Structure 1
Amino acid sequence: MTDLTPVQRRALRARAHHLNPVVSVAGNGLSPTVLAEINHALTAHELIKVRVYGEDRDARQQLMAEICEQTSAASVQHIGNILVLWREAPADEKSAAEVKKKPAPRAAADKPKARAPYSRDAAAGLAKPAGRSTRTAAPRRQSRG
C-alpha cells in the first residue's frame, strides 16, 4: 500500500471531488470480479471512487484496507459510503496517455486568416445616406396639463 503525504492527499481529494463512483460493492461483498473491476478502473483512471452499500463504518474501513492491499492502491478518502482510491499508472501507459492528450500542431493553412471588420451595410452593398441618421426619433409625449 502506498503512503501519501498530506499535500498529495489534499490534491487527490480535490481532483476526485467531481468524479462519480465507477465501481459498487453491494451484498456479495468484495468478490474477485469486483476486485478485478476496481483494478481495471485504477489502471485506466489512476483515481477512482467506489460506492459501498449496506456496510457499517468499521466494515467499510476494513474493506478499504483490503482493497488497498490487494490492488496496491493508496487510500485517499473515506466519506460515508464513498471510498476514494489512487494508484499511479505504470510509466509506459502514462506516456501513451500523454501523447493522446496533446493536440496535433496546426498547419499554417489551417490557421484562420484575419478579416476586415464586418459591416452589414458594407456586405449588402448599401451606403449610408449623407447627413442622415439611421435612427428615427421617437415621437414626443405631450404632458397633460
Structure 2
Amino acid sequence: MLTSKQRSYLRGLANKITAIFQIGKEGLNDNLAKQVWDALEARELVKISVLNNSLLDPKEVGQELADKVHAEVVQVIGNKFVLYKPSRETPQIVLPR
C-alpha cells in the first residue's frame, strides 16, 4: 500500500512519461495483462490510455488491470491511469518513506 507521500512522488514521475498502452472497445484481455506485467517489470511505472470508443470507465479498468497484474493504481486523470509495481529483481524507483 502506497502512502500519500509516495503516491505524490510517483505522480510527479508519471507526468513525464507517455502512455504506452491503449485500451479500446475490446477491453481487457489476457494478452494485454501479460504485456502490462512485462512493462511493469521493466519500467515499474506505466501510463495507460483508455480510448474514447471504449465504453469502459478508466477508474474501473485501472483497478481491474491493477488487480490482474498485482500492481497499484497511482492516479486516474481523464481517460488515463498510471500503475506502479516494484520490480522483483532490481527496483529502479526509490520511494520516499
TM over 0.5, shorter chain: yes
Give the distance between the partners of 2:42 and 2:22, measured in 1 at CA: 17
Identity %: 29
Which structure 2 residues correspond to residues 1-145 of structure 1 after superposition, within 5 A? 3-54=1-52, 55=54, 59-90=57-88, 93-94=89-90
Q: Displacement of 1:50 after TM fit? A: 0.4
Structure 2: any 5+ residue segments left out of the alignment? 93-97
Dislocated runs of 4+, deviation >4 Å: none
Native 8 Å contact 2:23 2:50 kept in 1: yes
SS of 1:49's equivalent? Answer: strand
User: Alignment length, in residue pairs?
Assistant: 91
Q: Displacement of 1:31 after TM fit? A: 1.3
1:11-62 superposed Cα distances (whole Å, 9 cap, x missing partner): 0001111101111111110011111111111011000100111346x72211
Q: Displacement of 1:89 after TM fit? A: 0.6
Native 8 Å contact 1:50 1:83 kept in 2: yes
The answer to which structure has the higher strand fraction is 2
Opposite residue 50 of structure 1, the aligned amino acid is I
1:55-98 superposed Cα distances (whole Å, 9 cap, x missing partner): 46x722111111111111011010011110000111xx207x7x
Native 8 Å contact 1:43 1:89 kept in 2: yes
Native 8 Å contact 1:9 1:76 kept in 2: yes
Q: TM-score, with normalisation over the residues of structure 1?
A: 0.59
Give the distance between the partners of 1:24 and 1:40, measured in 2 at CA: 15
Relative contact order, higher structure (CA 8 A, sep 6+) = 2
Native 8 Å contact 1:49 1:85 kept in 2: yes
